[in-house]
Amino acid sequence: MKKIAILNGPNLDRLGKREPEIYGRATLADLEKKLRAEFKGEAELLFFQSNHEGELIDKIGELADAKVAALVLNAGALTHTSVALRDALLGAHLPAVEVHISNIYKREAFRHTSLTAPACVAVITGLGLEGYFAAVRFLLQS
């Protein structure tokens, strides 16, 4: 069974409370529960969320050393600003799928550029929480 890590960055701990018109009403705990149910028996899912860039970078290194199969990353706003996070992804040599709940191309112009996308095998944007499910399905098939 593949181990797939799902990492969430800044403010994603506020899902269900923060801008529900953009991100919906489901919480991060709701998402984790649904993902575990959907992929039970197919994948071992590991979850991590941090509002701190360095903690995400440290976790990516730990996951690489632990030989997880792949990761799903919603880096939140760090997507658009963090060269260090991009370097951590490249250095981990893990297939990663970048996920965004909202369609970043329908939002502010500064969100249209992802520094982390070139370090990922795919990017899913604008599918809501379904993007996480699509990412795990994709990683299970690859």
- For the question of residue 100 being annotated catalytic, the response is yes
Q: Residue 79 is part of which domain span?
A: 2-141
- Please provide the DSSP assignment of 12-40 as one string: GGGTTTS-HHHH-S--HHHHHHHHHHHTT
Per annotation, catalytic residue among 80, 93, 100, 112: 100
pLDDT tier for residue 111 given thresholds of 50, 70 and 90: confident
3-state secondary structure of 3: strand
Per annotation, catalytic residue among 23, 105, 112, 132: 23
The number of domains in the chain is 1
The answer, yes or no, to whether residue 110 has pLDDT greater than 90, is no
The string of pLDDT tens digits covering residues 40-56 is: 999 999 999 999 999 99
The string of pLDDT tens digits covering residues 3-33 is: 999 999 999 999 999 888 888 899 999 999 9
**Cα(36)–Cα(52) distance, rounded to whole angstroms?**
25
Mean pLDDT confidence for 62-71: 97
- For the question of residue 23 being annotated catalytic, the response is yes
pLDDT at residue number 135: 98
pLDDT tier for residue 105 given thresholds of 50, 70 and 90: confident
The CATH number that applies at residue 73 is 3.40.50.9100
pLDDT at residue number 12: 97
